[in-house]
Amino acid sequence: MELIDKCDGLLFTGGQDVSPKLYDEEPLDCVECCVERDKMETIVLKRAIETDKPLLGICRGIQFINAALGGTLYQDLPLQHPSLTEHHQKPPYEIPVHRAELIENTPLRKCLGRDKISVNSYHHQAVKEVAPELKPMALSEDGITEAVYRPGNTFLWAVQWHPEFSYTTDENSAEIFKAFVEAAAGSQ
């Protein structure tokens, strides 16, 4: 806890699949989890919420936050939610491959000042049912939740796409990081 408390903000990155055990499902054969990471991030998430520590989730980050707070995931989008929308692009990863509609009266729409943006996409899992504590901020063309926030926190946002690949060329990605850094600076 002491290490978490020393941080101004927390970033949950992409990586291994989130364990379906978090939302009471048996894993499909294609799921590769890191149980230790799930346990560690569960502790960090709980502390971040308790202390109102700014937190940004990216890719696995949105999936983990959603599952840890009581939501569910598509374990494998191509199998469980077939679509023509590209969710697992090939390099270069900074190139947008689909659009996301930003939901009215959400922090992300207010931050970006737009109703639609183009995003990159590199994942095979995604939010299925949004956790009760979270609210959606963006949806893809095929109905996948692309961004969420937790209304009770100053800054607890998560996005399905990868702004870390495009923040130098995409102003929307840069604005998301700017909002996170400002929230973290304000938490000192």
Kindly list the catalytic residues: 59, 162, 164
E strands, 104-168, in order: 116-119, 126-127, 135-140, 145-149, 156-159
User: What SS3 state is found at 23?
Assistant: helix
Sign of CA dihedral 80, 69, 36, 161: positive
3-state secondary structure of 146: strand
CB contact set of 97 (below 8 Å; sequence gap of 6+): 86, 89, 118, 119, 120, 121
Q: Work out the end-to-end distance of the chain between its first and last CA atoms, rounded to an integer number of angstroms.
A: 16
Long-range contacts, 40-43 (Cβ 8 Å, 24+): 41/12, 41/68, 42/68
Instruction: For the chain, give the longest Cα–Cα distance.
Output: 46
> What is the spatial distance between Cα 186 and Cα 169, in angstroms, rounded to a whole number?
26
